Amino acid sequence: MNDKACASPSWTWPVKLDEYDRRPELNPEEAETIRANQSSLVEGIPPSQVLEKCNLARLMKPLEDVCAHIELQPKYWAKLKARMVRDVAARGRSYWGWTEEEWIESIRKGGHEKPSVAAVGYLLCGFDALHKLGGKSIIFYGLAYRIFGREHVRRLFADLEVMLVNFGYRDRTARIYVPRAMCEVLVTNRSPHLEDLTVEVAVGNALGDCG
């Protein structure tokens, strides 16, 4: 990497997890709100109505912080929050207590909100079973852009493309295949800096590609 890349500042996790109430169980008020508003939680009810009836305050702020960080357009925030509230109600637990399998289920049925649900799991709850979702390269590609920022990832792509072409790689490989693999490495390593890459992550991704 060039000197500019080597001088990259340390990266701070974009959401402040310690500031949230991360109890997996619902408190009595939350449980009662859900129980009393079951009819507003069925599929097809407008997101605005879901949130009007079941605005679970301690679970909304973390979701809003994720929405802001991934630059989700404000008009889509309600859809994401309503989908998360429905799954919280169905499981009787806050998303802080969801299992890996439950996150996979929520992401797979997320529809247009699928990338945003994946970002919530990744940023808030340590969900890292992305390889189990299928369409691997697209998932990691999209998450890298959302989590680490479009401009940063594009700069890495440009630097990497120049380096690979200079080493004799074909243009298509330098522009498409290797950058996609790079996104998987960044997301798996939970850092936007290639210099933070560990041997374990590099070997794990290589073995995954061979499996």
What is the full per-residue pLDDT of the chain (211 aa) written as tens digits? 444 444 456 779 999 999 999 999 999 999 999 999 999 999 999 999 999 999 999 999 999 999 999 999 999 999 999 999 999 999 999 999 999 999 999 999 988 899 999 999 999 999 999 989 876 668 898 999 999 998 988 888 787 777 777 777 666 665 667 777 888 888 998 988 877 766 454 444 444 554 4
Given 127, 162, 189, which residue is the final one in a domain? 127
Amino acid identity, residue 19?
Answer: E
- Which pLDDT score is estimated for 174? 59
- DSSP structural state of residue 92: T
Q: Which residue has the tokens 């073995």?
A: 207
Q: CA-CA distance, 53 to 43, in Å (whole number)?
A: 14
**Domain span at 86:** 17-127
Specify the pLDDT at position 9: 60
Last residue of a domain, one of 87, 105, 127: 127
- The SS3 of residue 42 is coil
User: Which residues in 55-71 are b (16+ Cβ under 10 Å) and which e?
Assistant: ebebbeebbebbbeebe
- What pLDDT score does 139 carry? 87
**Residue 85 and residue 61 in one domain:** yes
Q: Are 103 and 127 in contact (CB under 8 A)?
A: yes
The three-point CA angle 137-185-80 to 5° equals: 60
**Contact call for residues 119 and 143 (beta carbons, < 8 A):** yes
pLDDT at 198: 60
Task: Using alpha carbons, select from 5, 49, 15, 1 the residue that is nearest to residue 121.
Answer: 15
Are 117 and 141 found together in one domain? Answer: no
* Domain contains 71: yes
Q: Is residue 10 part of a domain?
A: no
- Give the predicted TM-score (pTM) of the model: 0.84
Closest by CA to 1, choosing from 150, 205, 132, 192, is: 192
**Residue 60, amino acid:** M
Report the pLDDT value the prediction gives residue 161, as an integer from 0 to 100.
74
Do 115 and 58 reside in the same domain of the chain?
Answer: yes
b/e for 7-19, b at 16 or more Cβ within 10 A?
ebeeeeeebeeee
Torsion over CA: 126, 199, 208, 192 (sign): positive
Domain boundary among 127, 155, 183: 127
Q: Assess if residue 91 is contained within a domain.
A: yes
Indicate whether 111 and 154 sit together in one domain.
no
What domain count does the chain have?
A: 2
